[in-house]
Amino acid sequence: MAYLGIPKNTIEVLQKYNFNFQKRFGQNFLIDTHVLEKIIREAHITKDDVVLEIGPGIGTMTQYLCESASKVFAVEIDNTLIPILNDTLSEYDNVTIINEDILKVNINKLVEEECGNRPIKVVANLPYYITTPIIMSLFENDVNIDNITVMIQKEVAERIVSKPGTKDYGALTLAVNFYSTPEIVANVPPNCFMPRPNVSSAVIRMTKDVEPKVKVADKELLFKLIKASFLQRRKTLVNGIGNFKELNITKDRVAEALKEMGLDENIRGERLSLSEFGELSDLLSEK
Ligand code: SAM
């Protein structure tokens, strides 16, 4: 078996197929066996698991996934990679390659058909240009997931795990934390990829919460409040929400709710924790 985590083997495959990297698909292939082993370990994959891999590339991580999981679904948008994947993964009978845009795949249907009620694990070295839409669509579509362990831009990973009151804290932090408990499990420098990306990367594991950390009466309202609060982060919450067209909430109502929560009426959204946003949402939905 020619493992593609070894740079020499990756180069051989790329040359054999005369492969041209497509920047528009965010193609940076992993060429570091230690990083690959670390991702598999941190995703807590066992022989019972069904894994969804987003963007297998030439199959570098897929080889590891096939060896550690029971079944692997690998969704790749670039059709020029499909014959390569059929070649590099030919020794495995537990992988299904799907040539599709991940944002167009009905993952719920796939999970239902293949796993019954068992949750899947999602593993990927994500294309960085669509990191947020991919993560959010998995959560928002309520896919039955155990955890999502993905390589993303380091800066985005830091935003996801940031704390209230810091410059990185924002709508993405709150959205991911609403559904899961995130943890950065590895930092990965550009030289672990071919070609080298211009940014540093990190592996983040988002373990889906079985019981939501925050329960709200109106989830849509909560997410609109979060959006309104971070559109212009230097604004106070009262102004941010009061001026937000998608909501019909007066500044007075926001000020009153903040007072009820014992918070300063000049407070900015970046100071509020997820549970405080939840409390604010419930107070405003009652009124
Ligand atoms: N997993 C491989 C590795 O680690 O070497 C490749 C990772 S590369 C960063 C991202 C992969 O995602 C590429 O193969 C790219 O073609 C694929 N991709 C990009 N956009 C996609 C989409 N919307 N749906 C599915 N795959 C996509």
Percent of the chain with pLDDT over 70: 99
Residue 5, pLDDT score: 96
For residue 194, the tally of other CB atoms under 10 A from its CB is 19
Round the average pLDDT of the chain to a whole number and report it: 96
Q: Which of 4, 28, 77 to mutate to test the pocket of ligand 1 (most atoms within 8 A of CB)?
A: 77
Nearest CA to ligand 1 atom 23: 101
Check whether the bond before 190 is cis (ω within 30° of 0). no
Which residues have C-beta atoms less than 6 Å from ligand 1?
A: 25-30, 54-57, 60-61, 75-78, 101-103, 125, 127, 130
- The model's pLDDT over 87-127, given as tens digits with 9 standing for 90+, comes to 999 999 999 999 999 999 999 998 888 887 789 999 999 99
List all residues 6 or more positions away from 73 whose beta carbon is below 8 Å from its beta carbon.
50, 51, 52, 53, 95, 96, 98, 110, 114
Per residue in 225-256, pLDDT tens?
Answer: 999 999 988 899 999 999 999 999 999 999 99
Task: Quote the pLDDT of residue 159.
Answer: 98
Q: According to the model, what pLDDT value does residue 161 have?
A: 98
Give the count of beta carbons closer than 10 Å to the beta carbon of residue 155: 12
Judged by DSSP in three states, 51 sits in strand
- pLDDT greater than 80 at residue 146: yes
**Which one, of 77, 71, 130, lies nearest residue 99 by Cα?**
77
Ligand 1, residue 127: give the atom nearest the CA. Answer: 10
How far is the centre of ligand 1, averaged over its atoms, from the C-alpha of 28 (Å)?
8
Q: Whose CA is nearest to atom 17 of ligand 1?
A: 55
To test the ligand 1 pocket, which listed residue (6, 14, 27, 52) has its Cβ within 8 A of the most ligand atoms?
Answer: 27
Average pLDDT for 261-271? 96
Cα 171 from Cα 159, distance rounded (Å): 9
pLDDT in tens, 178-203: 999 999 999 999 999 999 999 999 99
**Nearest atom within ligand 1 for CA of residue 22:** 16
Q: Which of 20, 25, 103 to mutate to test the pocket of ligand 1 (most atoms within 8 A of CB)?
A: 25
Give the Cα separation of 100 and 105 in Å (integer).
7
Q: Which atom in ligand 1 lies closest to the alpha carbon of residue 103? A: 23
DSSP structural state of residue 118: P
Q: Are 77 and 101 in contact (CB under 8 A)?
A: yes
Q: What is the pLDDT of residue 233?
A: 82
CA distance 167 to 145: 30
Which residue has its alpha carbon closest to ligand 1 atom 14?
57
Rounded Cα–Cα distance for residues 114 and 111 (Å): 5
Yes or no: say if 124 and 150 are a contact pair by the CB < 8 Å rule. Answer: yes
3 state DSSP class of 45: coil
Half-sphere exposure of 24 (CA within 13 A, CB side): 3
Res. 287: pLDDT tops 60: no
The pTM of this model reads 0.96
Q: How far apart are CA 199 and CA 193, in angstroms?
A: 11
Atom of ligand 1 nearest to the CA of 30: 5
Mutate to test the pocket of ligand 1, among 98, 105, 125, 150 (most ligand atoms within 8 A of CB): 125
